[in-house]
């Protein structure tokens, strides 16, 4: 690992030691954040998988009911029955901050006729159509929740990747560079101290020799 381009002085050594301490503390905090993000991500993935299976099963059942309704009703009658919905749905988007990630929160509200009311009469429609409509109506909140979970998983995955890159940069680049540079400066300072000590010893020996032989 290459050392940083710095002057090998004691002041620089002190600054690098302070930066190394900060980098190690930041590395630990980022690792803890990454681990917690992974825990939350895996929890959301498990919930999303279970909910997706429920949604897909409900859609399959609704499609089966609709297929039977199409077989016993004419296309015109089916289109007329579903032409005017009795309910309207509005979706509000809010956000929730989880570990610096803005997670979406979808809220759906129905307005209009009660949920049990169907937008058509029963004289020319099939009971299978009723089942399909009720199935899809009850499915909408789950679909909203599934969309919220999957979007949250996507956002968490992006934050995990960014955090992982920062952890790796600190662990494999910055911290080793600081350590190597500190070792290099310490070695240079020790070398300078030894040189200074050697010069002082030589000067001392010369002064002693001059004192013992004043006429030379």
The predicted-structure confidence for 129-146, as pLDDT tens digits, reads as follows 777 777 777 788 889 999
CA dist., res. 185 & res. 195, Å (int): 15
Confidence band for 91, pLDDT divided at 50, 70 and 90: confident
Q: Do the beta carbons of residue 108 and residue 117 sit within 8 Å?
A: no
Rounded to whole angstroms, the Cα distance separating 119 from 87 reads 8
Q: What is the pLDDT of residue 117?
A: 56
Closest listed residue to residue 148, CA positions, set 111, 103, 87, 189: 103
Handedness of CA 80, 63, 65, 91 (dihedral sign): negative
Q: Which pTM does this prediction carry?
A: 0.73
pLDDT for 25-63, tens place per residue? 999 999 999 999 999 999 999 999 999 999 999 899 888
Q: Hey, which residues does 112 pair with through a beta bridge?
A: 87
Q: What is the mean pLDDT of residues 155-159?
A: 94
* Domain definitions of the chain by residue range: 10-205
> For the CA atoms of the chain, what is the radius of gyration?
37
- In CATH, the number for domain 10-205 is 1.10.287.3240
27/112: higher pLDDT = 27
Q: Mean of the per-residue pLDDT values for the chain? A: 83
Say if residue 21's pLDDT is above 90.
yes
3-state secondary structure of 89: strand
Count of CB atoms within 10 A of residue 153's CB? 19
């Amino acid at each position: 690992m290459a050392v940083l381009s710095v002057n090998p002085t004691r002041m620089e050594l002190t600054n690098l030691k302070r930066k190394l301490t900060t980098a190690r503390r930041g590395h630990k905090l980022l690792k803890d954040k990454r681990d917690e993000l992974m825990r939350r991500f895996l929890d959301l993935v498990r919930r999303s998988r279970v909910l997706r299976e429920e949604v897909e099963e409900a859609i399959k059942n609704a499609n089966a009911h609709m297929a039977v309704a199409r077989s016993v009703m004419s296309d015109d009658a089916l289109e007329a029955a579903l032409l005017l919905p009795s309910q309207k749905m509005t979706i509000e988007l809010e956000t929730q901050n989880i570990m610096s990630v803005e997670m979406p929160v979808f809220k759906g509200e129905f307005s209009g006729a009660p949920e049990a009311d169907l937008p058509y009469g029963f004289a020319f429609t099939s009971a299978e159509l009723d089942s399909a409509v009720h199935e899809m109506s009850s499915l909408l909140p789950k679909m909203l929740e599934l969309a919220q979970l999957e979007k949250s998983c996507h956002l968490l995955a992006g934050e995990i990747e960014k955090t992982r890159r920062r952890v790796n940069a600190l662990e494999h680049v910055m911290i080793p560079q600081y350590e190597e540079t500190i070792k290099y400066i310490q070695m240079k300072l020790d070398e300078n101290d030894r040189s200074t000590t050697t010069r002082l010893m030589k000067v001392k020996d010369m002064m002693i020799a001059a004192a013992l032989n004043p006429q030379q």
